[in-house]
């Protein structure tokens, strides 16, 4: 039985700015090239005939020269076909890098539906690419599979169940896709892995191979498998990339910076195993603290850098205090407490906000918060 072995990826978004985590943006941009190398090495490991990149190889139409040269040079060293379909973020506009010369093993679908025949594998690879950042009409039209060969279709787009979709990202009608006659459809355009199998017809989104922000959480990877006449088999394979996690951690009872950081590290290790330090975390601290304590976020973050690649903190802790005693204080401090408590009673929906204002105000009265006079 003749098979066509493939690796399927999409949405690498090389050159991303990583603006959500500016402190590590430079390193994350470099690590994107490491992800591409992992993908290419997976092709070698699995003896793939082709790598299918279903859109958004780059994050924008304007690609830095050094990045582009690095990508071309890397791809040229691998003995396999590489098929790229430009997507919404990196369309093949007239001035696009996709109209430059690329390595001989790379084929780019720069417009409408196009076929590349690979006679020695009895396979046709089909594709169509974005030529601008929006694509209101489906690119699926003009796909005419060759009955005597295996037919693989690679495309960036959005699945829809209605023929009159308002999508501007190549709306692909599911019914039309099911009836198109392809042996496998390699899709791109969503950040998460999606697998659709109907009888022997398979179409998949691999999701992005590495997260780029906290809206792309958890494990990422690619698809590895093969196509034969009439059916395909693909499996998800995780990549060794940093993951993004949103965490809520109870720090009740902690008082010192060391205790806060230690509690956070212990919880993350328990939740994510020994590789926990490799990832990026958006952490909300919750729980009840004693005696009006307020965690110092800069100090805790600095200590966490000793154990974690990246963490940002939000404080949503509460604190226990004797409000009646504080309200009876005859000084300006007491007047301040009475004013805030009055606000809390009249605006219960924002009680947490007023409570935090109260805590910070009390710390200011006690001289624990320095005021920047130039603020």
How do residues 83-116 score in pLDDT, each as one tens digit? 999 999 999 999 999 999 999 999 999 999 999 9
Confidence category of residue 368, pLDDT binned at 50, 70, 90: low
Q: 253 and 280: one domain?
A: yes
Say whether pLDDT at 132 is over 80.
yes
pLDDT of residue 292: 65
Provide mean pLDDT across the span 32-61: 97
Q: Which of 238, 272, 305 represents a domain boundary (last residue)?
A: 238
In a domain, 325, yes or no: yes
In a domain, 372, yes or no: no
pLDDT of residue 373: 40
For the entire predicted model, the pTM comes to 0.86
In a domain, 371, yes or no: no
Q: 255 and 353: one domain?
A: yes
Range of the domain at 319: 244-365
How do residues 48-84 score in pLDDT, each as one tens digit? 999 999 999 999 999 999 999 999 999 999 999 999 9
Q: 288 and 303: one domain?
A: yes
Q: 138 and 153: one domain?
A: yes
**What is the rounded average pLDDT for all residues in the chain?**
92
Say whether pLDDT at 198 is over 90.
no
Provide mean pLDDT across the span 159-170: 88
Provide mean pLDDT across the span 226-251: 95
List the structure tokens of 266: 């212990």
In a domain, 93, yes or no: yes
Q: 60 and 187: one domain?
A: yes
Task: Give CA–CA dist 355/323, Å, rounded.
Answer: 11
Q: Which of 200, 219, 238 represents a domain boundary (last residue)?
A: 238
Concatenate the DSSP letters of all residues of 104-160 into one string: TTEEE--SS-EEEEEGGGTEEEEEE--SSS-B-S-S-TT----TTSEEEEEEE-EEE
Q: 78 and 45: one domain?
A: yes
167 vs 30, higher pLDDT: 30
Confidence category of residue 300, pLDDT binned at 50, 70, 90: very high
Q: 299 and 194: one domain?
A: no
Domains in the chain: how many in total? 2
pLDDT of residue 374: 39
Q: 164 and 265: one domain?
A: no
* 289-328 exposure pattern, b = at least 16 Cβ within 10 A, e = fewer: beebbbbbeeebbebbeeebbbbbbebebebebeeeebbe
Among 220, 161, 165, which Cα is nearest to 38's? Answer: 220
Q: What is the CATH number of the domain that holds 155?
A: 3.60.21.10
Q: 63 and 144: one domain?
A: yes
Confidence category of residue 371, pLDDT binned at 50, 70, 90: very low
pLDDT of residue 375: 32
How do residues 14-26 score in pLDDT, each as one tens digit? 999 999 999 999 9
Q: 35 and 149: one domain?
A: yes
Task: Give CA–CA dist 94/82, Å, rounded.
Answer: 22
Q: Which of 238, 257, 281 represents a domain boundary (last residue)?
A: 238
65-75 vs 25-45: helix axis angle to the nearest 10?
A: 20
How do residues 318-366 score in pLDDT, each as one tens digit? 777 778 888 888 899 889 989 999 998 898 888 778 877 887 787 777 6
Tell me the sheet residues that pair with 108. 84
In a domain, 375, yes or no: no
Q: 140 and 186: one domain?
A: yes
Percent of the chain whose pLDDT exceeds 70: 97
Q: 257 and 229: one domain?
A: no
């Amino acid at each position: 039985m003749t098979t066509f072995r493939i690796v399927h990826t999409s949405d690498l978004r090389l050159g991303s700015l990583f603006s959500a985590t500016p402190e590590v943006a430079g390193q994350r941009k470099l690590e994107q090239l490491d992800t591409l190398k992992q993908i290419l090495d997976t092709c070698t490991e699995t003896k793939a005939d082709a790598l299918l990149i279903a859109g958004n190889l780059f994050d924008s139409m304007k690609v830095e020269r050094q990045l582009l040269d690095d990508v071309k040079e890397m791809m040229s060293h691998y003995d396999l076909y590489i098929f790229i379909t430009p997507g919404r973020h990196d369309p093949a506009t007239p001035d696009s890098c996709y109209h430059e010369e690329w390595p001989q093993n790379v084929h780019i679908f720069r417009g409408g539906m196009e076929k590349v025949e690979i006679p020695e594998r009895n396979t046709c690879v089909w594709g169509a690419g974005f030529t601008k950042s929006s694509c209101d009409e489906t690119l699926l039209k003009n796909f005419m599979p060759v009955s005597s060969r295996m037919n693989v279709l690679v495309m960036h787009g959005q699945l829809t169940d209605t023929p009159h979709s308002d999508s501007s990202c190549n709306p692909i009608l599911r019914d039309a896709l099911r009836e198109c006659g392809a042996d496998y459809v390699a899709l791109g355009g969503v950040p998460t892995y999606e697998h659709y199998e109907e009888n022997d017809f398979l179409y998949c989104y691999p999701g992005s191979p590495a997260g780029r922000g906290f809206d792309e959480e958890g494990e990422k990877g690619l698809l590895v498998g093969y196509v034969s006449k009439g059916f395909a088999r693909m499996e998800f394979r995780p990549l060794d990339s940093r993951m993004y996690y949103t965490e809520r951690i109870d720090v009740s009872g902690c008082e010192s910076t060391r205790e806060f950081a230690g509690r956070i590290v212990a919880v993350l290790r328990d939740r994510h195993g020994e590789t926990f330090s490799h990832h990026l975390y958006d952490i909300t601290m919750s729980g009840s603290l004693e005696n009006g304590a307020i965690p110092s976020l800069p100090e805790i973050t600095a200590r966490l850098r000793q154990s974690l690649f990246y963490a940002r903190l939000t404080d949503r802790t509460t604190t226990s205090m004797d409000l009646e005693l504080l309200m009876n204080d005859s000084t300006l401090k007491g007047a301040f407490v009475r004013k805030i408590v009055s606000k809390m009673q009249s605006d219960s929906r924002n009680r947490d906000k007023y409570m935090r204002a109260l805590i910070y105000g009390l710390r200011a009265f006690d001289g624990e918060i320095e005021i920047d006079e130039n603020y």
